[in-house]
Amino acid sequence: MKLGAKVTALFALVVFAAVFFVSSDALAGGRFTLKSGEVAEQSGAWHVFVTIELPKPPPIPHQTMRFLFTKTAVYERSLIDNHDAPVTNVTVLQNQSPSVESLDVDFSNASGKIFTTTRFDFGLTRDRGYEAGEYTVQLRTSDGVEIGGRANIKLKGDNPVVDRRAMNFNKDNKIKKIEGHDAGAKQVAQNDDTPNGNAGGNGEVTATGTAQPFIPADAYNKTPEENIQVKPKGGCGCSVPGMSDVPLGGGLALLLPLGAIGIAIARRRQRTAEQKSA
């Protein structure tokens, strides 16, 4: 690369850096102020009024600004022992993440002329995580350039009541606690001291009355399938397959005719054989 080209490139780099740092310093040299360091809650919101001043008029009338609210303390309302009304305590917080409100701020008037300074107002609600307490406020452009320094603001109001009273245990083993800060409604929990014999001195419970047995009495009765008829014992205890149910007398009456027929057939065959041999 030639020397002239190197000089030109270096000059362009210096000009770019100068423009970048000058513009950043110019934006950082701006400032913003709060109309009041304390804002009361009205109609469920805190209305914040600010004045923003830039070093020079912005290129376009509407600029996106980011308001960062970091909570540093909260006003806690709590019920404590020996106090009928809620007590407010300031609880200091550290290392809290900021809540960011990105808003479109107008730097022009009705005729369209752009100015370096504008007055702007917006609301903060509990739905977005805000509560009565103390915050630090920062203003930055959409590209992260901070305008002015930090400001402190107090959001005044009544936060929800937190019950921090201790449970009281006395020698009678009774527990009492007031629900809410209204002394008109009380709930008392205690052991059953009714002298009906249901509770012993050692805390054991004695059962009274009658109850159905776990297994009913009719469960021990045999079903017809279980009531099997058993053949009486007797004799040799043996039986011929197929003939176990036939009475003994009926068997002999059947065998005698068959034996006679067999003898007659044998004799006839013997006579026939003798005639052939003669």
Stronger pLDDT, 246 or 211, i.e. the higher one: 211
Rounded distance between C-alpha atoms, residue 115 and residue 61, angstroms? 8
- What pLDDT digit, counting tens, does each position of 76-121 carry? 999 988 888 888 999 999 999 999 999 999 999 999 999 999 999 9
Stronger pLDDT, 150 or 197, i.e. the higher one: 150
CA dist 96 → 93, 130, 165 (Å):
7, 13, 27
Beta strand pairing status for 175-178 and 168-169?
Answer: antiparallel
- Computed over every residue of the chain, the mean pLDDT equals 75
Q: How many helices (H) and strands (E) does the chain have?
A: 2, 13
- What pLDDT digit, counting tens, does each position of 185-238 carry? 444 444 445 455 444 455 566 666 666 666 777 766 777 666 666 555 555 555
129-143, 149-163, 195-209, 214-228: range with lowest mean pLDDT: 195-209
Whole-number pLDDT of residue 182: 45
- What pLDDT digit, counting tens, does each position of 168-182 carry? 666 555 444 444 444
- φ, ψ for residue 95, nearest 5 deg: 55, 45
Question: What percent of the chain has a predicted confidence (pLDDT) above 70?
Answer: 56
- Token pair of 158, please? 């009544």
- Token pair of 80, please? 């404590």
Whole-number pLDDT of residue 204: 61
Rounded distance between C-alpha atoms, residue 87 and residue 48, angstroms? 27
pTM of the model: 0.52
- Token pair of 122, please? 């917006």
Q: Quick check: 32 and 70 in contact, CB under 8 A?
A: no
Domains of the chain and CATH, by start: 26-160 (2.60.40.2550)
Say yes or no to pLDDT of 127 above 90: yes
Say yes or no to pLDDT of 75 above 70: yes
Whole-number pLDDT of residue 255: 63
Stronger pLDDT, 10 or 226, i.e. the higher one: 226
Question: What percent of the chain has a predicted confidence (pLDDT) above 90?
Answer: 40
